């Protein structure tokens, strides 16, 4: 294996939607292989080329770049219909994935009853006074739960043998209908029981179409590395939504840091020597959960309007606020970030000064790391530092040196807490990703 090859992982450092898709698309030009290793269609990653916009949910954001092979590894919760819909949408736009997409035969399938369970469970939990997460409704939590339960889970490789899968599905449908009927009664919602014949009829064409893409992707990646290929790992969701490190229980159900790529792809994370932590220059969160740096309604509406902060998966308006350095410093350390990509700087261009959250006050104590419990995080009073704004458009900047001094100072302030900066983004398009010169040392490497 060529040890000089650099493998990279891109992860988000906040609550998702930092611009990971844009960074992966930028880096894909230098990669042979792009891998999704966690989450499922609850992710929404946007790539913009000129006026064209691609919203990817299951496919890696390397698909737009010709010459890349794209891998959906076994850690992904795979909705077969959604994957095929994305493949078709790209084909309509002239992008073929034939021979350049591999889907793990060990990936767990999202089945329709898992989406129903998610909807009914949230409704029942709400009625009973349990936390409501505000899930995307893509069935991801129940799919990973079924994976852990094992008895009712289905993996993509099973689609190769529908003769064996059909009786298993019949048994699962019986079980699920019984469980979901009870859940529906508790939630006060309607539930139409699943019919085996209909489930199989929907699955059969998917099985046929997915067959050519199925592979043992972990072994395939071993060979790719041995051949000296460069691999780019695309983290979905973000560190604050990580099932262990995030603001539990208001998180997603997968491991969203570079630590997840080993489990989710079968490669050791030690083989990745560059971790790009994507950090939006302000804050956003979609769904429920604590967000100490959330702005007041007026300021949040301005950020939402300027940043077009509406969910890529669900279209929901995102809650908006300021950059929280307590949380971002914590996640940058947990992710082992070697370089930051600071996105959305242009969104702040209309502000005379910009608040940054640098500490919390909780019960008379000053905190610089987040408390473990979501309820305590929600009670934290943010301590803000004001940074001077720049009040000029950044959209046409094409080099770090083109940025106004105040914008560079703002970035340097983030770097002081979160680590060295490798990229800044001044807009959503490909050419608005600006690599920093290697010599530009704006924060010491930790």
Q: Reply yes or no on whether 237 is catalytic.
A: no
Residue 115 binds ligand GDP (CB under 6 A):
no
| Phi, psi (deg, nearest 5) at residue 174 | -60, -50
Taking the C-alpha atoms of 222, 228, 234 and 240 in order, what is their torsion angle to the nearest 10 degrees?
A: 80
Rounded CA-CA distance 39/251 in Å is 12
Contacting ligand IMO within 299-318 (CB under 6 A): 312
- Structural tokens at position 8: 């990279």
Among 343, 357, 400, 411, binds ligand GDP (CB under 6 A): 343
| Given 7, 17, 79, 269, the catalytic residue | 17
Q: Which does 241 bind (CB under 5 to 8 A by kind): ligand GDP, Mg ion, ligand IMO, none?
A: ligand IMO
Closest CA to 170 of 155, 154, 189, 191: 154
Sorted by sequence, the CB contacts under 8 Å of residue 357 that are 6+ apart come out as: 292, 293, 322, 323, 324, 325, 326, 382, 383, 384
Does residue number 46 form part of the binding site for ligand GDP (CB under 6 A)? yes
Of the candidates 7, 9, 13, 21, which one interacts with ligand GDP according to CB under 6 A?
A: 21
For residue 312, state whether it binds Mg ion (rule: CB under 5 A): yes
Cβ 57 to ligand IMO, closest distance in Å? 8
Binding partner selected for residue 135 from Mg ion, ligand GDP, ligand IMO, none, CB under the kind-specific 5 to 8 Å limit: ligand IMO
Catalytic residue among 7, 26, 45, 57: 45
Q: Out of 8, 9, 14, 20, which residue is the one contacting ligand GDP (CB under 6 A)?
A: 20
60, 61, 67, 69: CA torsion to nearest 10: -10
Q: How far apart are CA 336 and CA 296, in angstroms?
A: 32
Alpha helices in 243-352 (DSSP H): 259-265, 297-307, 325-335
With CB cut-offs between 5 and 8 Å by kind, which of Mg ion, ligand IMO, ligand GDP, none does residue 276 bind? Answer: none
Q: Is 45 labeled as catalytic in the residue annotation?
A: yes
Q: Which does 320 bind (CB under 5 to 8 A by kind): Mg ion, ligand IMO, ligand GDP, none?
A: none
Ranges within 260-289 binding ligand IMO (CB under 6 A): 286-288
Candidates 207, 236, 328, 374; binder of ligand IMO (CB under 6 A) is 236
Burial class (CB in 10 A: 0-12, 13-18, 19+), 66: exposed
If binding is defined by CB under 6 A, does position 318 make contact with ligand GDP?
Answer: no
What's the number of CA atoms in the CB half-sphere (13 Å) around residue 359? 9
Q: Please classify residue 296 by burial: count the beta carbons closer than 10 Å to its beta carbon, then call 0-12 exposed, 13-18 middle and 19+ buried.
A: exposed
Residues at the interface with ligand GDP (CB under 6 A):
12, 16-22, 44-46, 48, 307-308, 312, 343-344, 346-347, 425-428
């Amino acid at each position: 294996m060529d040890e000089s090859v650099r493998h990279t992982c891109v992860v988000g450092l906040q609550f998702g939607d930092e611009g990971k898709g844009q960074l992966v698309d930028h880096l894909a030009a230098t990669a042979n292989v792009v891998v999704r290793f966690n989450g499922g269609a609850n992710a929404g990653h946007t790539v913009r080329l000129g006026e064209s916009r691609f919203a990817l949910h299951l496919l890696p954001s390397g698909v737009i770049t010709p010459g890349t092979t794209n891998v959906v590894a076994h850690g992904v919760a795979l909705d077969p219909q959604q994957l095929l819909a994305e493949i078709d949408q790209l084909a309509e736009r002239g992008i073929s994935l034939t021979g350049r997409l591999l889907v793990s035969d060990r990936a767990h399938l999202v089945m329709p009853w898992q989406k129903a369970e998610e909807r009914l469970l949230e409704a029942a939990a709400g009625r009973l006074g349990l936390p409501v997460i505000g899930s995307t409704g893509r069935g991801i939590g129940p799919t990973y739960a079924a994976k852990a339960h094992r008895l009712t889970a289905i993996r993509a490789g099973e689609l190769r043998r529908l003769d064996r899968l059909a009786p298993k599905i019949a048994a699962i449908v019986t079980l699920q209908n019984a469980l979901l009927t009870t859940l529906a009664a508790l939630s006060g919602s309607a539930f139409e029981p699943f019919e085996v014949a209909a489930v199989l009829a929907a699955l059969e064409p998917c099985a046929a179409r997915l067959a050519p893409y199925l592979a043992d992707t972990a072994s395939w990646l071993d060979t790719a590395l041995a051949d000296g290929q460069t691999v780019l790992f695309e983290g979905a969701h973000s560190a604050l939504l990580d099932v262990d490190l995030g603001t539990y229980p208001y998180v997603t159900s997968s491991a969203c840091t570079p630590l997840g790529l080993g489990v989710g792809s079968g490669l050791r994370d030690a083989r990745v020597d560059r971790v790009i932590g994507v950090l939006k220059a302000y804050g956003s969160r979609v769904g429920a959960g604590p967000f100490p740096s959330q702005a007041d309604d007026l300021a949040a509406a301005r950020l939402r309007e300027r940043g077009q902060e509406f969910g890529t998966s669900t279209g929901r308006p995102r809650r908006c606020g300021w950059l929280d350095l307590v949380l971002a410093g914590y996640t940058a350390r947990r992710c082992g970030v070697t370089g930051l990509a600071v996105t959305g700087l242009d969104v702040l261009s209309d502000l005379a000064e910009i608040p940054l959250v640098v500490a919390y006050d909780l019960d008379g104590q000053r905190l610089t790391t987040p408390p473990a419990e979501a309820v305590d995080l929600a009670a934290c009073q943010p301590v803000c530092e004001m940074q001077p704004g720049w009040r000029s458009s950044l959209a046409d900047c094409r080099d770090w040196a083109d940025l106004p001094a105040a914008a560079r100072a703002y970035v340097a302030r983030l770097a002081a807490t979160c680590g060295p900066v490798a990229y800044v983004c001044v807009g959503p398009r490909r050419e608005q990703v600006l690599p920093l010169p290697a010599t530009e040392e704006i924060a010491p490497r930790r």
